Amino acid sequence: MAATNSCRPETIFSSPGCEVQYCADCQMVHLNMGALTLRMSEQQFANYAIDISKAMFSLRQREVATTHQPAQYVM
């Protein structure tokens, strides 16, 4: 699925960290992060977004588990 000459990616979201574009021509989502661009289908992008959220949740859970050590001793 190479980019075609008629590619017209439209920016649907942008933040200081990344820019998300959608191309109606090839129906691909472009995720631009600095020098890196990930191109994927809408379905792949949806799965990716869920996976990233799950990874973030997992990371937070890990931080909670490692920083909240019980400080009290039970006699």
For residue 53, the minimal CB distance to Zn ion (Å) is 26
Question: Which of residues 23 and 40 has its CB atom nearest to Zn ion in the complex?
Answer: 23
Question: Which of residues 30 and 66 has its CB atom nearest to Zn ion in the complex?
Answer: 30
For residue 58, the minimal CB distance to Zn ion (Å) is 33
Quote the CA–CA distance of 23 and 29 in Å, as a whole number.
6
Cα 29 to Cα 7, 13, 24, 55: the distances in Å are: 12, 11, 9, 21
Q: How many CA atoms lie within 13 A of 37 on its CB side?
A: 9
For residue 23, the minimal CB distance to Zn ion (Å) is 3
Give the residues lining the site for Zn ion (CB under 5 A): 7, 23, 25-26
Quote the CA–CA distance of 62 and 26 in Å, as a whole number.
39
Question: Which of residues 42 and 63 has its CB atom nearest to Zn ion in the complex?
Answer: 42
